[in-house]
Amino acid sequence: MPQGAHRRPPGERVYGTGPAAPRPWGEVEGGEAPDALSLYVHIPYCARRCAFCDLSAGRPRGPEEPLAYLTALRREIVRAAEEEPDLRGRPAVTAYFGGGTPTSVQPEGLAGVLWLLRNQFALPDEAEASVEADPGTVGQETLWALRRAGFNRLSFGVQTLDDRVLRRLGRLHDAARARAAVGWAREEGFAHVSVDLILGLPQVSRAAWRETVAEVASWPVDHVSVYALQVEEGTAFGRRQRAGLLSLPPDELVVEMGDEAEAVLAAAGFERYELASYARPGGRCLHNEGYWTGRAYRGFGAGAHSYVGGERRWNTRSPRRYIAAVVGGASPVAGRERLAGEAARAEAAMLALRRDRGIERAAFARAFGVDPAAAFAPAWERLQEAGLVTVDGERIALSGRGRWLYNRVASALLP
């Protein structure tokens, strides 16, 4: 088979027919090359499991496991750079270390992996390099080391500033510690700092939520993520809910609290540029923008997802199986799928709608050869009638109410 032609790997599932999306379908600030590439590194370890989290992250089995994991990561990266033709020559534009809790491994280990990424994929020094951090376990020393290693953006999982609730969530920090961590991040020279908050946690009063948001908005951070709590099976919250022990605020109240957060953040100069993301000018997360606009990304590590050349694929979720596969010279890939035609268009639309720019009609038409207003015409009609989307010559975007009912909008587009 000739080089460059599409080879279908075994086990790949194909949805839809026709060409896959070859180019990004949305634009990001400052523009970027159509073949730009993002890099993601997954660290699957956590000191503790939080009550709301359904990721497979957990404690390593013994002190050697993280070291073996880092070795496997480095090996997967080198092998990808050398052996995957789709990655060759692409300009890498962002790196993101997520988890789990990346800071649960030694910063030197993360430094080594970031160094390798720069080396293998020519990631420029000034490119966005994010790392998620747990304010409960990082000290100023660690932040110093991460900054020295070349990370320039920190994302703190703060969740709330109500200490009583933090303890119940199983978090290791309190409000004071979170406040301190943000200060250290600035002292150590991180250009961008983000804070994650969770909306709709049990036992958070409206007043407490307002205080949390107002205080975070006053911090020296340029990005805030606000996620609505989702109770998942297999989490402590899920078990409590099943037992009837979880008293969640009613949807109406959650919506009011969410709208209030948006207003407070807006007053402090934060723009809601995506469903769950707020940024001050220049603070948008370029890496995440890639997910919503169809930029290619290559994820390394257990459970990491990649999207390259129109194919989505993911590694095995188990760190031990991942280590065994990579060290043994085998592929850690656990599944893959390729979206084409209608299915690819629908997924692109579903992702693009998360952004404030919505589905940019021109960019979408360039990528898919069809105007999105025409492609999903009956759905738009119904969604407009219900007041969930707005359609104009340039874009199709969610209305204020549509943002709260994103799932309804997105599922209406699926074939």
Partner 1 sequence: MADGARPAAATGERARQGADVGAVPPARIRNFAIIAHIDHGKSTLADRLLEYAGAVPAREMTEQFLDRMDLERERGITIKAQAVRLGVRGPDGEAYALNLIDTPGHVDFSYEVSRALAACEGVILVVDAAQGVQAQTVANLYLAAEHGLAIVPVLNKIDLPGADPERVRAELEDLGVDGREAIPVSAKTGEGVPEVVAAVLERVPPPGGDPDASLRALVFDSRYDPYMGVVCYVRIVDGSVAAGERVRFMATGRSFEVTEVGVFRPEGEAVERLAAGEVGYLTAGIKSVREARVGDTLTHDDRPADAPLPGFRPALPVVYAGLYPSDPGAYDDLREALERLQLNDAAIVYEPERSEALGMGFRVGFLGLLHLDVVEERLEREYGLDLVVTAPSVVYRVTRPGRPPYEIQSPADMPDDAQTVEEPFVEAEILVPADYVGAVMELCQERRGSMVALDYRSAERAAITYRMPLAEIVFDFYDRLKSRTRGYASLDYRPAGYEASDLVKVQVLLAGEAVDALSFVAHRSRAEARARAVLARLREVIPRQLFDVALQAAIGRRVIARETVRALRKDVLAKCYGGDVTRKRKLLEKQKAGKRRMREIGRVEVPQAAFMAVLDAEREGSR
Query: Which among 70-78, 169-177, 207-215, 225-233 is the span making contact with partner 1, rule CB under 8 A?
Result: 225-233
Tell me the closest approach of the beta carbon of residue 183 to partner 1, in angstroms.
25
**Angle CA 205–208–214, to nearest 5:** 140
Q: Is 366 left (phi over 0), alpha (psi -120 to 50) or beta?
A: alpha
Question: Judged by CB under 8 A, which of 81, 172, 373, 410 binds partner 1?
Answer: 410
Rounded to a whole number of angstroms, the minimum distance from the CB of residue 36 to partner 1 is 14
Least distance from C-beta 221 to partner 1, angstroms?
18
| Strand ranges (E), 260-408 | 271-274, 277-279, 296-300, 305-308, 311-315, 333-339, 359-360, 389-391, 395-398
Q: At what angle do helices 406-413 and 341-352 cross, to 10 degrees?
A: 160
Residue 181 contacts residue 158 (beta carbons within 8 Å)? no
Q: Which is nearer to partner 1, 134 or 347 (CB)?
A: 347
CA–CA separation, 172 and 167 (whole Å) = 7
Coil vs helix vs strand at 409: helix
Under the binding rule (CB under 8 A), the answer on residue 380 touching partner 1 is: no
Q: Which is nearer to partner 1, 15 or 144 (CB)?
A: 15
What letter would DSSP give residue 124? Answer: -
The answer to whether the CB of 162 falls within 8 A of the CB of 204 is yes
Rounded to 5°, angle at Cα 348 from 343 and 351:
125
- Residue 229 found at the interface with partner 1 (CB under 8 A): yes
What are the C-alpha distances in Å from 183 to residues 1, 3, 162? Answer: 56, 52, 19
Amino acid at 406: Y
Least Cβ distance, residue 339 to partner 1 (angstroms): 9
Choose between 60 and 249: whose C-beta lies nearer to partner 1: 249
Enter the tokens of residue 261.
Answer: 């957060």
Choice between 163 and 196, CB closer to partner 1: 196
Q: Which is nearer to partner 1, 127 or 353 (CB)?
A: 353
Question: Token pair 């390798």 is at which residue?
Answer: 116
User: What number of chain residues touch partner 1 (CB under 8 A)?
Assistant: 42
When asked if residue 218 is in the footprint of partner 1 (CB under 8 A), the reply is no
| Contact range with partner 1 by CB under 8 A, out of 84-92, 207-215, 291-299, 358-366 | 291-299
Q: Which of 230, 263, 269, 394 binds partner 1 (CB under 8 A)?
A: 230
Task: Name the region of 79 (left: φ>0; alpha: ψ -120 to 50; beta: rest).
Answer: alpha
373 is a site residue for partner 1 (CB under 8 A): no
Structural contact between residues 199 and 165, judged by C-beta atoms closer than 8 angstroms: no
Report the candidate in 134, 147, 219 with the shortest Cα–Cα distance to residue 182: 219
The interface with partner 1 within residues 33-52 (CB under 8 A) comprises 40, 42
Interaction mask 332-361, partner 1, x per CB under 8 A: -----x---------x--xx----------
Distances (CA, A) of 387 to 84, 134, 277: 45, 39, 22
Q: Name the minimum Å distance from CB 316 to partner 1.
A: 14
55 part of the interface to partner 1, by CB under 8 A? yes
Q: Nearest approach, Cβ of 227 to partner 1 (angstroms)?
A: 5
Q: Shortest distance, CB of residue 144 to partner 1, whole angstroms?
A: 26
Binding mask 245-284 for partner 1 (x = CB under 8 A): ------xx-xx-------------------xx--------
Cβ nearer to partner 1, comparing 186 with 240 = 240
Q: Would you call the peptide bond into 294 cis, given omega within 30 degrees of 0 as the criterion?
A: no
Choice between 115 and 406, CB closer to partner 1: 406
Please identify which residue in 278, 314, 322, 364 interacts with partner 1, judged by CB under 8 A.
Answer: 314
Q: What is the DSSP string of 243-254?
A: TT---PPPHHHH
102 binds partner 1 (CB under 8 A): no
CB of 248 to partner 1, least distance (A): 11
Beta-strand pair 359-360/333-339? unpaired
Residues that bind partner 1 (CB under 8 A): 40, 42, 55, 96, 98, 225, 227-230, 251-252, 254-255, 275-276, 291, 297, 299, 303-307, 312, 314, 337, 347, 350-351, 386, 388, 403-408, 410-412, 414
